[in-house]
């Protein structure tokens, strides 16, 4: 199962969060909102200027800026 950066994920693609490589307030905020390793995410879409990105997580929708999404690596299904 390959790991890719969340930033590279396409619309409607799903994956499982593998790691979040940042600390401080940003790292904590992402975790608090449910972005923890093992959680399934789906890319809901991107804003008109391709940034930020909207994710479906635990039945809700979250938005992240691209430079924030970069800290998250995701395991995706190889067949996707």
Partner 1 sequence: MNQNIRMALVGNPNAGKTTLFNTLTGARQHVGNYPGITVDYKEGDFTHKNQGNIQEDNQRITLTDLPGTYSLTAYSVEEVVTREYLVNAKPQVVINIVDASNLERNLYLSTQFLELGCPLIIALNMVDVAKDRGIEIKVEKLAELLGVPVAPIIARSGQGASALIDQAIMLAEKPWQPRDISYGEDLDAAIMELITIISENNFLTHTYPARFTAIKYLEHDDQILQKGQEDDSATAARLEEKVTQVSDHLLKTMDAYPEAIIADHRYGFIKSILRQGVQTHTFDTDRLYTSDKIDKVLTNRLLGPAIMLLVLFGLYQFTFTASELPVAWLESLFGLIGDQAKSLLPDGPVKSMIVSGVINGMGGVLGFVPLIMFMFLGIAVLEDSGYLARVAFMMDRIFRIFGLHGSSVMPFIVSGGIAGGCAVPGVMATRTLRSPKERMATLLTVPFMNCGAKVPVIALLIGAFFSDHKAIYMFLFTMLSWMVALLAAKLLRTTVLRGPATPFVMELPPYRFPTLRGLAIHTWERTWQYIKKAGTVILGISILLWAMMTYPGLPAAKMAGFEQQRRAAISPFASEIVSESQSEKEEVSESARTLRRQLAAINDQESEQALRSSIAGRIGIALEPVSRLAGFDWRTNIALVGGLAAKEVIISTLGTAYSMGKVEADASDSLGQRLTRDPNWNKVVAVSALIFIMFYAPCFVTVVCIAREAGHWGWALFSISFNTTFAFLLAAAVYQIGRLLG
**Residue ranges binding partner 1 (CB under 8 A):** 14, 20, 23, 25-37, 39-40, 42, 44-45, 47-52, 54, 56-65, 68
DSSP symbols for 44-68: EEE-TTS-SEEEEETTEEEEE-HHH
> Minimum distance from CB of 67 to partner 1 (Å)?
9
Residue 42 to residue 12: CA distance in whole angstroms: 6
> Minimum distance from CB of 16 to partner 1 (Å)?
13
How many CB atoms within 10 Å of residue 29? 13
CB closer to partner 1, 4 vs 62: 62
């Amino acid at each position: 199962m390959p790991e890719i950066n969340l930033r590279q994920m396409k619309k409607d693609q799903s994956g499982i969060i593998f790691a979040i490589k940042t600390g401080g307030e940003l790292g904590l905020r992402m975790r608090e909102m449910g972005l923890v390793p093992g959680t399934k995410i789906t890319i809901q879409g991107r804003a008109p200027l391709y940034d930020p990105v909207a994710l479906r997580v635990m039945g809700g929708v979250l938005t992240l800026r691209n430079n924030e999404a970069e800290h998250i690596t995701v395991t995706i299904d190889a067949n996707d």
